[in-house]
Amino acid sequence: MKKPGLSKARPVFRLWLILFLACGLAAMADDRPVRYDLKVELIPETATLQGKETIVWTNRTADYIPDIQFHLYWNAFKNERSTLAQEASREKIISRYRAKKDEWGWIKLVSLSTDSGLDLMPAATFISPDEPHNPDDQTVLRVELPEPLAPGQSITLNLEFQAKVPGSGLRTGHYRDGFFIAQWFPKPGVYEEGRGWNCHEYHLNSEFYADFADYRVEITVPERMVVGASGEEVARRDDPASGKTTYTYVQQNIHDFAWTASPRFVKLERWFRGEEEVTPEEYRQMAELLGLSPQELKLPDVKMILLIEKQHQNQAERHFRALRAALKYYGLWYGPYPYRTITMVDPPYRTGSGGMEYPTLFTAGTSVLLEKDVLSPEQVIIHEFGHGYWYGLVANNEFEEAWLDEGINTYSTGRVSEVAYGPGRLPFRFSGLPLSWLIKFPAVYDWQLGRVVSATVAELDPIVTASWKFFNSMSYSLNVYYRAATCLHTLERLLGEQTWARVMRTYHMRYRFRHPKTEDFIRVVNEVSGQDLTWFFKEFFFNANNFDYAIGSVETRLKPEKYQGVFDSLPTGQASSPPAGVQEKTARKKEKIYETVITLRRLGPARPGPGYGLKLRVDFEDGSSEWREWDGQDRWVRFYFEKPARVKTAVLDPEAIWLVDSNFSNNSYSSQGPGARLLTATVKLVWFLQHLLLTFSGLL
């Protein structure tokens, strides 16, 4: 719908926006070390790829570089001896990957030469750069260059490769004639000046890291296949003789390229129109929050492409609605989406490729049986699109600091879901049928659930840990996703909405198309907030410290009307002064006074930093309230109150600032307790146990 007053200005804004984005992208072009030109043919019958690749790699550092290291990710699926397979076999209960017979995948370099024809294959060796070394792993290939590459010098490499698409593996795979192709081509790692190649083996609990590049990719598939890919489709060539079609995709300034092909896709397109999706009032409010002008926040138009399986086609509009919300809020809060297209894929059935992100393309995943108030597939759509921002644009090293995309994006996903949808019910299923059809599960916000589950790993590993060094997959997942997000929610509440919004926008816009580290994020937080929050990151990101404050005890007693003992003078409030050394009765008071002692305790090692603390609010039966503050440094503190009423409730951190507190249940006191709710929970448990025992007895 057209908004009044904007129709004349719209073309000008659009032109300005396009110019801005084009200039931005173009300005980045000279900084990019890599260009890819790929041609690949998919042979569905054998599930193989035949590929040709031309890489132009430029040394943008001051170092002389003697070699190039490549990722050959699919060799992680080659056998049981790869690093990934070995790590997976050590996961006892749940593993995101299990090596299966007949589903192996691999990638093999057939030839590698320079533009001048020099054969580099003899100089190529597999290496294992991570500890512990695994000589059987073949996911990192080192190629010694004939001469070290000087600063500013480029080299053009021509590669031919063959690859076998793994079965339903990890993030990539095929099932029958549905294919999802990711991490499929030889890709150089990232060279870091003064430090060398950052090119890790493919680990179970890690994702990816690469340089921004321009891509031009030709994909040849049987004509019956519907194809989706990163970037924009610029050409299509049909060859009736061979029954094949070649699609050409191009995209500047991305650091990965994925694609998919299946005959069962339905391809749908919609447009996200910035001026229709966001009202002037929303622009104005956001501008005020961020301290920017509304014009700076204008969102561009984006073509939304959806490849959805026919069995899920009736859910297409649910998919688009979620993507619109994501484009809108990520754009308003962090910065406009800089590409012209976004491709959303309902992954081919049983390819193991759902819920994953690639620049300008992501996979979601849904089910034929949906529930109305369960935010699935919405949350996964928002989350995976969001990775286009956190990882796609702000391209942290996912191997070494996964929280910078997963944690920040989990936080962002929760915020978008909250604003666009409200709380969602938990998605439990049994035998493929939604249990919510029978049982009314509670509706929760992402951050509520996240803080509860992440408390279980508070003392296991620091959030900032290299992905493959976490204790296990659960520690990795809960730490980098949920605990990191919980910490960010806490930081938001400590700093306030406005400061936090500015922190996040500054961080995103400053580090777009760059590779930031945790220290960069901390620097931005300190700079924008004007405070030193380094202690926060030290406490919660670099250490595994549990933050748990509690109300230890609440004691109330009637203040005695008289005190026994020998007094030099009467206690305060006495009516008359007796002679010294004589026991005296006090005058009977008309009003009862209650003495209340509240003890607060610090149960974990984590503490607030300088200038921060916790608040205590105490409500009394006469309707009055008192507040106290505690810096939380000692192990305990006591507060004393004298009031003509008993204490009714006491709440530590009543504003719920410290979401990182691992146990909210000990943060409050009520003279009456939760009453009916606890009784209901107990009654339901009894009832459930009766049924369990009765069912068991029925077997006898």
Tell me the torsion sign for CA atoms 560, 565, 571, 577: positive
624 near another protein (CB under 8 A): no
Q: By C-alpha distance, which of 512, 455, 505, 446 is closest to 483?
A: 455
In angstroms, rounded to a whole number, what is the distance separating the alpha carbons of residues 288 and 291? 5
Give the DSSP per-residue string, 562-610. S--S--SSPPTT-SSPPPTT---PPPPPSS--EEEEEEEEE-SS----T
List the structure tokens of 578: 């007796």
In angstroms, rounded to a whole number, what is the distance separating the alpha carbons of residues 275 and 588? 75
Residue 456: partners with Cβ closer than 8 Å, 6 or more residues away:
478
Query: By rule CB under 8 A, what string of x and - marks binding of each residue 190-229 to another protein?
Result: ----------------------------------------
User: Burial, 499: exposed, middle or buried (Cβ in 10 Å; 0-12, 13-18, 19+)?
Assistant: middle
**136 backbone dihedrals φ, ψ, rounded to 5°:** -85, -10
46 near another protein (CB under 8 A): no
Q: Cβ of residue 58: shortest distance to another protein, in angstroms? A: 45
Figure out which of the listed residues 94, 575, 580, 700 binds another protein, where binding follows CB under 8 A: 700
Give the DSSP per-residue string, 466-498. -GGGSSSHHHHHIIIIIIHHHHHHHHHHHH-HH
Residue 374 · residue 421 · CB < 8 Å? no
What is the residue whose two structure tokens read 């803080």?
451
Point out which residues pair with 217 in neighbouring strands: 38, 249
Q: Cβ of residue 678: shortest distance to another protein, in angstroms? A: 6
664 near another protein (CB under 8 A): yes
How many residues interact with another protein (rule CB under 8 A)?
63
Pick out residues in 417-436 that bind another protein (CB under 8 A): 431-433
Q: Cβ of residue 390: shortest distance to another protein, in angstroms? A: 25
Which residue number, 590 or 677, has a Cβ lying nearer to another protein?
A: 677
694 near another protein (CB under 8 A): yes
Which residue number, 311 or 526, has a Cβ lying nearer to another protein?
A: 311
H or E, element range at 404:
helix 403-420
Binding span for another protein by CB under 8 A among 271-279, 293-301, 389-397, 446-454: 446-454
674 near another protein (CB under 8 A): yes
Query: By rule CB under 8 A, what string of x and - marks binding of each residue 361-400 to another protein?
Result: ------xxx-------------------------------
Which residue number, 139 or 475, has a Cβ lying nearer to another protein?
A: 475
Q: Cβ of residue 334: shortest distance to another protein, in angstroms? A: 27
666 near another protein (CB under 8 A): yes
Figure out which of the listed residues 440, 564, 623, 642 binds another protein, where binding follows CB under 8 A: 440
Point out which residues pair with 38 in neighbouring strands: 53, 217
**636 backbone dihedrals φ, ψ, rounded to 5°:** -160, 165
Binding span for another protein by CB under 8 A among 132-140, 493-501, 630-638, 671-679: 671-679
556 near another protein (CB under 8 A): no
Q: Cβ of residue 687: shortest distance to another protein, in angstroms? A: 5
Binding span for another protein by CB under 8 A among 62-70, 161-169, 234-242, 309-317: 309-317
679 near another protein (CB under 8 A): yes
698 near another protein (CB under 8 A): yes
Cis peptide before 146 (omega within 30 of 0): no
In angstroms, rounded to a whole number, what is the distance separating the alpha carbons of residues 338 and 299? 9
Figure out which of the listed residues 442, 465, 490, 522 binds another protein, where binding follows CB under 8 A: 442
673 near another protein (CB under 8 A): yes
Figure out which of the listed residues 52, 176, 601, 646 binds another protein, where binding follows CB under 8 A: 176
Tell me the torsion sign for CA atoms 59, 65, 71, 75: positive
Which residue number, 237 or 350, has a Cβ lying nearer to another protein?
A: 350
110 near another protein (CB under 8 A): no
Q: Cβ of residue 559: shortest distance to another protein, in angstroms? A: 22
In angstroms, rounded to a whole number, what is the distance separating the alpha carbons of residues 73 and 81? 14
444 near another protein (CB under 8 A): yes
Residue 304 · residue 295 · CB < 8 Å? no
93 near another protein (CB under 8 A): no
Query: By rule CB under 8 A, what string of x and - marks binding of each residue 249-278 to another protein?
Result: ---------------x--------------
Distances (CA, A) of 661 to 399, 443, 549: 28, 21, 7
Which residue number, 395 or 554, has a Cβ lying nearer to another protein?
A: 554
Q: By C-alpha distance, which of 65, 66, 25 is closest to 152?
A: 65
686 near another protein (CB under 8 A): yes
| Order of strands across the sheet that contains 361-363 | 265-272, 302-309, 341-345, 361-363, 356-358
H or E, element range at 692:
helix 676-698
650 near another protein (CB under 8 A): yes
List the structure tokens of 375: 């935010």
Q: Which residues of 650-663 are buried (b: 16+ CB within 10 A; e: fewer)?
A: bbbbbeebbbbbbe
- Terminal Cα distance for the chain, rounded: 67
677 near another protein (CB under 8 A): yes
Cα radius of gyration (the chain): 31
Residue 379 · residue 446 · CB < 8 Å? yes
Residue 158 · residue 114 · CB < 8 Å? yes
In angstroms, rounded to a whole number, what is the distance separating the alpha carbons of residues 654 and 249? 54
Q: Cβ of residue 557: shortest distance to another protein, in angstroms? A: 17
Q: Cβ of residue 264: shortest distance to another protein, in angstroms? A: 7
Which residue number, 248 or 668, has a Cβ lying nearer to another protein?
A: 668
Which residue number, 498 or 680, has a Cβ lying nearer to another protein?
A: 680
Amino acid code (one letter) for 202: Y
691 near another protein (CB under 8 A): yes
Binding span for another protein by CB under 8 A among 29-37, 90-98, 330-338, 448-456: 448-456
669 near another protein (CB under 8 A): yes
List the structure tokens of 654: 């009543």
| Order of strands across the sheet that contains 636-643 | 549-558, 594-602, 636-643
564 near another protein (CB under 8 A): no
Figure out which of the listed residues 29, 110, 419, 656 binds another protein, where binding follows CB under 8 A: 656
Which residue number, 267 or 585, has a Cβ lying nearer to another protein?
A: 267
List the structure tokens of 29: 């072009």
Figure out which of the listed residues 197, 275, 443, 590 binds another protein, where binding follows CB under 8 A: 443
590 near another protein (CB under 8 A): no
In angstroms, rounded to a whole number, what is the distance separating the alpha carbons of residues 322 and 150? 48
Q: Cβ of residue 694: shortest distance to another protein, in angstroms? A: 6
Which residue number, 221 or 393, has a Cβ lying nearer to another protein?
A: 221
Cis peptide before 516 (omega within 30 of 0): no
Figure out which of the listed residues 156, 158, 448, 556 binds another protein, where binding follows CB under 8 A: 448
Residues at the interface with another protein (CB under 8 A): 175-176, 178, 264, 309-311, 349, 367-369, 431-433, 438, 440, 442-445, 448-449, 452-453, 455-456, 554, 649-651, 656, 662-666, 668-671, 673-674, 676-687, 689-691, 693-694, 696-698, 700
